[in-house]
Structure 1
Amino acid sequence: MDKGTFEALVPSRFITFTFPNPSHSTTTTATHYHLHTQLLRVAVLDSPNQPTTTNPPRIAAMIVPTHRETDWIFSTDTGHLQLILNSDEISRLILIGNLPIDSHPTIYTRPISIDPTLQSKLAESLTPLLLALSPKSAFKYGLPEIPFLGYEDDVIRSVIVERCVGDCVGEMLIEDVELEGKREFQRRLRFKRMPNLIQTQIRIIPNASLDSVNLGDVEFGLDMASLVHPYLTPMVASLSLIGSYLEERIRGGFRPKALCLGVGGGALLTFLNNQLGFEVTGLEADEIVLNIAKKHFGLQDSKYVRFCVGDGIEFVEKLAGQYRKPNCDCVDNGCCLDNVDCLDAKFDVIMVDLDSSDAGMGIMAPPLEFVGKSVLLAARLVLSEHGILVINVIPPSRSFYETLIHKFQEFFEELYEIDVGNGENFVLIATALPIGTASIDYENSFLSKLKLVISGAYLDSVRKI
């Protein structure tokens, strides 16, 4: 490697190499950041968003948690990219970790946290390496301070259930995790293309006493009556805006109809059908993901749940303006893009849970293609007269969110918002018609059922924009 390789910042450049462990003689046991291998893996990524100011760039380092060296978050350029984009104005992020020995560990257990004194000694031993990996511009006012960023999540144990490759999404894994605090277990789906983003998670219940539960040794049942993903409950809470209309539909003998763009593990589809009585059509771009949802996340074929395989944008545009044909050969438990004209083209709600497939854009939802004029017009056309469009939004910037709002205001009567409260997600709700103020409060009404199955806090946090 040329000695001047790291002297300049090069946006999005990713370099990884091995380096002798300067603290290999240090004796530590079971520490969260224990660098014990003779060779270390060093990965250097320059942010795609470099500063334009004359101030020195910010350089930071992160030590890869022990036993997570092969996790996509720390071992891939896309995982590294998500880490740097989630850090405040960092120009270069340097990851340092043990050299992976087993490329596919099955079970992870979080080690005991590192002693602060040992952590300080470890940082001191790595300082010469970090300075050598810093660009010249960082030394404008002397030796730069290079902070160590921490990485903590709520996972204390995990076991890989299955790895597979989808035609569209690429490599993915299903894992069971035990969370910190009270003994709670979840099943999660993650994609390698966006490793820091949990695509699907559901609660799982061990078929044994909690005192005897060890991941990988016991069977788990699926809790299909609750929503774990932080933004799914607010998405369902948006139905309160048209609760009176849905109640009238139900009392008239009709099932409310929902179109879900993006199936993942199918938690939202299953919840809408089982808990609220919706007829649901789900669209997923990757058939392998649908198979995983059925195998590991409890998604089931039924009379009122159907799945379609294909691109969500193409589906909505093709569906717009179509009406049911009397002599259709479609089966009730499945469909594809070739027979969208066999579906009733009017939905009471369209729920959009699509993220950008471009890792270079960072974690962003919905993808830019979804907010095109033809797509929004098509979505408006396939909604029923009082229908709503509900979108999970992860804005990469405030300007993106404001642009999104402006685009929706061109095609929909009113916009509402729910702040999920996690510092990342918003739920945007676009209505086909203005929402009336009158409400129907029948006993056992749709609204009463909705309040029983989701958090009331989100029902009260719907805000008109």
Structure 2
Amino acid sequence: MALDISIFETIQPSRYISFTIPNPNTSLSSPLIRIAVLDSPIHPTTSSSPTPNVAAMFVPKHRESDWVFSTESGHLQLLLTSSNIQRLILIGQQPIIAGNSDSPSVYRRPIDSESKSSLEVMLKPLVIALCPKIYFENGKLEVPILSYEDSVVSSLVLEKCVGNFVGEMLVEDVEIETTNQEREFRRRLRFKRMPNLVQTEIRIVPQTAICLDSVEIGGNNIDFKPDLGVLVHVYLVPMVASLALIGPWIDERVKVGFRPKALCLGVGGGALVGFLKTKLGFRVLGIEVDEEVLRIARKYFGLEDEDFIQLCLGDGMELMEKLAHGDGGYEGVGHIDPQFDVIMVDLDSSDLRNGVIAPPLEFIRKDVLLAARSVLSKSGIFVINVIPPTRLFYEMLINDFREVFAELYEIDVGNDENFVLIAKALPVASSISDCENNFLKILRQAISGAYMDSIKRI
């Protein structure tokens, strides 16, 4: 059935249409070009600003099958992260499905963009036809072409699987571009429901000593192993930096023979759990709602059940409420001591159309916060990764925390997205610059001291 081009003359919030056309550039590998048109659900035009902002984006060569470019949720994330755009027109070659869909496929960044430039010229009339009529009424003659840029030089998917809670996910090895021109390799866990975000990322190194100049992702006989001594995910370092607030308390406990205790809600690939134990000497209890995620963490990310790491399948809010009510047992774990020096929360919402939100809305309940406070030790802290969709959301979250906790602090991650919110159960005075504090010395050696120094009371 022919597509009625007139349907694109107006913006209809949340409308999503995709179709294919014959490839006008015969030098490209695919006989078809895939077009997707997406109207924003949260940036409608108004009477005071009636002209919508429209932009086009061309899919990077050889990335056509990536979830970011091949799913509606991926397109939505591209749209929502493009400032003040009401319609996004995404154009790329139709992915070619190989005979064996399970065979690994290596992506390597193309060196030139000549074919993309020629396609842009050929499809310019189509891009104009897909714009609302009103877009050109104020003298606009061009539709801006957005560039998709990330740090991935090459990648290889290791496994795709499906979890009962998180849905489809994949594990991939990537080489990333660094500012210091040194080669760096990482392993990533991504969820299809949020395809433009990396759920877990760790550094990996070749299992045997080898010159990195000869190493390639997907290369023959090159096996990698996790390096758990470094945090590379941007918000995990400031989460760990929050421990500076209770450095004296932890140091006192260590001196009398106690291991500090951490509860991690949301394990993912286990980067935070492993770092707390390996680099900072914590006893860690991690709880994850999806059993398949735990399997992936053990198989690919070096996470292990051992003397000082305990992994639990279940709901973090339910666990805290059980402990708060004196039920020290949990299925599959046994008895749990209900006093923790730190609770760290790394959970997000799965409702993408409300924007990326962390923590989930159901987590911000007074009974959940009260349960968290009750399972903290007297000098304990509650640390949570926050991705607020609006400033108002963040201010409401802070007010909810003020009703339960004695003191609040924050760290601005500096990426225009994440904040780390830190709540103290009791107002225990301490100095975070005590040079004689052994734990603080270890902490500064393990992470960037800049985040420790940027903790701000709010």
Per the normalisation by structure 2, the TM-score is 0.92
Identity of aligned residues (%): 59
CA distance in 1, matches of 2:416, 2:359: 17
Residue 268 of structure 2 contacts residue 293 of structure 2 at CA under 8 Å; is this kept in 1?
yes
Alignment-derived partner of residue 23 in structure 2: 21
CA distance in 2, matches of 1:279, 1:376: 22
Out of 346, 350, 354, the residue aligned to residue 343 of structure 2 is 350
Deviates more, 1:355-364 or 1:191-200: 355-364
Shift of the 176–121 alpha-carbon distance from structure 1 to 2, 3 Å rule, reads: closer
- SS of match in other structure, 2:7: coil
Alignment-derived partner of residue 439 in structure 2: 446
Shift of the 56–386 alpha-carbon distance from structure 1 to 2, 3 Å rule, reads: same
- SS of match in other structure, 2:20: strand
Deviation at 1:78, TM superposition (A): 0.5
Alignment-derived partner of residue 334 in structure 1: none
**In the alignment, does 2:130 pair up with 1:128?**
no
- SS of match in other structure, 1:16: strand
CA distance in 2, matches of 1:300, 1:195: 27
Q: CA offsets, 1:60-106, max 9 Å, x none? A: 10000000000000000011010000011111101000111136562
Amino acid at match of 1:386: S
Out of 142, 145, 148, the residue aligned to residue 148 of structure 1 is 145
CA distance in 1, matches of 2:429, 2:321: 29
Out of 310, 314, 321, the residue aligned to residue 306 of structure 1 is 310
Alignment-derived partner of residue 274 in structure 2: 270
Q: CA offsets, 1:380-412, max 9 Å, x none? A: 111111110101111112111111111111111
**In the alignment, does 2:289 pair up with 1:294?**
no
Deviates more, 1:206-215 or 1:219-228: 206-215
Amino acid at match of 1:67: H
Alignment-derived partner of residue 375 in structure 2: 382
Residue 162 of structure 1 contacts residue 175 of structure 1 at CA under 8 Å; is this kept in 2?
yes
CA distance in 1, matches of 2:11, 2:65: 27
CA distance in 1, matches of 2:376, 2:286: 15
Q: Give me the CA root mean square deviation.
A: 2.0
Deviates more, 1:58-67 or 1:38-47: 38-47
Deviates more, 1:122-131 or 1:157-166: 122-131
Alignment-derived partner of residue 70 in structure 1: 65
Aligned residues: 443
CA distance in 2, matches of 1:442, 1:152: 42
Alignment-derived partner of residue 211 in structure 1: 213
Residue 202 of structure 1 contacts residue 223 of structure 1 at CA under 8 Å; is this kept in 2?
yes
CA distance in 1, matches of 2:362, 2:254: 34
Out of 9, 22, 28, the residue aligned to residue 7 of structure 1 is 9
**In the alignment, does 2:247 pair up with 1:240?**
no
Alignment-derived partner of residue 184 in structure 1: 184
Alignment-derived partner of residue 228 in structure 1: 232
**In the alignment, does 2:86 pair up with 1:91?**
yes
Q: CA offsets, 1:108-166, max 9 Å, x none? A: 00001325xx7665433222111221223324335553111000100010011111111
Shift of the 258–94 alpha-carbon distance from structure 1 to 2, 3 Å rule, reads: same
CA distance in 2, matches of 1:243, 1:290: 30
Residue 416 of structure 1 contacts residue 464 of structure 1 at CA under 8 Å; is this kept in 2?
yes
- SS of match in other structure, 1:6: helix
CA distance in 2, matches of 1:344, 1:358: 34
Deviation at 1:297, TM superposition (A): 0.2
Alignment-derived partner of residue 202 in structure 2: 202
- SS of match in other structure, 1:66: coil
- SS of match in other structure, 1:5: helix
1:355-370 matches, within 5 Å, as 355-370=348-363
Residue 247 of structure 2 contacts residue 437 of structure 2 at CA under 8 Å; is this kept in 1?
no
Alignment-derived partner of residue 41 in structure 2: 48
- SS of match in other structure, 1:236: helix
Out of 414, 425, 428, the residue aligned to residue 421 of structure 2 is 428
CA distance in 1, matches of 2:83, 2:439: 44
CA distance in 1, matches of 2:431, 2:132: 63
Residue 157 of structure 2 contacts residue 170 of structure 2 at CA under 8 Å; is this kept in 1?
yes
- SS of match in other structure, 2:146: coil
Deviates more, 1:235-244 or 1:131-140: 131-140
CA distance in 2, matches of 1:155, 1:85: 21
Shift of the 249–440 alpha-carbon distance from structure 1 to 2, 3 Å rule, reads: farther
Deviation at 1:442, TM superposition (A): 7.6
Residue 33 of structure 2 contacts residue 93 of structure 2 at CA under 8 Å; is this kept in 1?
yes
Deviates more, 1:291-300 or 1:404-413: 404-413
Gaps of 5+ in 2: none
Shift of the 427–439 alpha-carbon distance from structure 1 to 2, 3 Å rule, reads: closer
Alignment-derived partner of residue 158 in structure 1: 155
CA distance in 1, matches of 2:65, 2:431: 56
Residue 241 of structure 1 contacts residue 435 of structure 1 at CA under 8 Å; is this kept in 2?
no
Amino acid at match of 1:91: Q
Per the normalisation by structure 1, the TM-score is 0.91
Amino acid at match of 2:95: P
Deviates more, 1:252-261 or 1:128-137: 128-137
